[in-house]
């Protein structure tokens, strides 16, 4: 019985030696594994958490629009899931993408701006046409998002901004994000697109970034 046990242990020696060798290699290379592999795993995990925040932000934007009596926003659940799937597949497009957002009532699109920032885009805000045009002469943006109507009658509206934008030889895509939108009227001249739905806005920005980045 003892001889049989010894023979069995001898057979296991190669496996034990391989285990010890692997353990030694791991210990010797712990610092390299910790510095290179573990951060990648953490960033992947962090990316998942961030995208959960993105989902929460678009949900909040949709909920605000659908509850408003003046905006008439209606986003089917399947449409939201479709754009989130597309955004997840093209996350690299948003990384450090620069978006200029022009709106004299920025509180109306706080959730949407947060959504783009959570996608790692850089979003800068302008509350007047003058401020937006000044920013455009100083910095380079990948896409511009603008309202159309303005509460201050002295401030040129979004259509007038678009005309001034192209007169200054700017060629970046301009997307109108509005409270009310009639699809039958189509997008204004020179505009890249127009919508009042958060999911369609995300689609349009993705379309624009595919052309500019």
Residue 206: per-residue pLDDT:
97
Confidence of residue 6 (pLDDT cuts 50, 70, 90): low
Q: Which residues pair with 102 in a beta bridge?
A: 126, 146
| 1-5, 63-67, 109-113, 153-157, range with the lowest pLDDT | 1-5
Q: Which CATH architecture has domain 52-212?
A: 3-Layer(aba) Sandwich (3.40)
The two most distant CA atoms of the chain are separated, in Å, by 101
Residue 41: per-residue pLDDT:
39
Residues 6+ apart with CB under 8 A from 113: 101, 106, 123, 125
Find the DSSP H helices in 29-76.
30-32, 38-67
- Distances 212 to 29, 46, 133, 174, 208 between C-alpha atoms, Å: 42, 27, 19, 12, 6
8 A C-beta contact, residue 170 and residue 141: no
Domain segments of the chain: what residues? Answer: 52-212
Does the pLDDT at position 20 exceed 70? Answer: no
pTM strictly above 0.85: no
Mean pLDDT of the region 158-182: 87
């Amino acid at each position: 019985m003892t001889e049989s046990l010894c023979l069995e242990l001898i057979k296991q020696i190669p496996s034990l030696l391989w285990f010890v060798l692997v353990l030694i290699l791991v210990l010797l290379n712990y610092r390299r594994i910790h510095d290179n592999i573990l951060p990648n795993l953490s960033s992947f995990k962090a990316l998942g958490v961030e995208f959960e925040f993105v989902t929460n932000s678009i949900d909040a934007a949709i909920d605000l629009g659908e509850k408003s009596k003046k905006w008439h926003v209606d986003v089917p659940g399947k449409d939201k899931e479709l754009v989130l799937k597309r955004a997840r597949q093209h996350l690299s497009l948003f990384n450090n993408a620069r978006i200029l957002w022009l709106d004299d009532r920025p509180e109306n699109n706080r959730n949407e701006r947060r959504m783009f920032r959570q996608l790692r885009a850089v979003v800068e805000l302008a509350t007047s046409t003058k401020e937006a045009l000044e920013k455009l002469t100083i910095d380079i943006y990948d896409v511009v998002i603008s309202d159309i109507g303005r509460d201050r009658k002295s401030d040129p509206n979004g259509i007038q901004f678009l005309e001034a934008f192209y007169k200054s030889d700017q060629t970046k895509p301009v997307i109108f994000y509005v409270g009310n939108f009639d699809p039958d009227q189509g997008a204004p001249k020179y505009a890249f697109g127009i919508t009042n739905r958060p999911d369609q806005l995300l689609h349009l920005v993705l379309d624009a970034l595919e052309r500019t980045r």
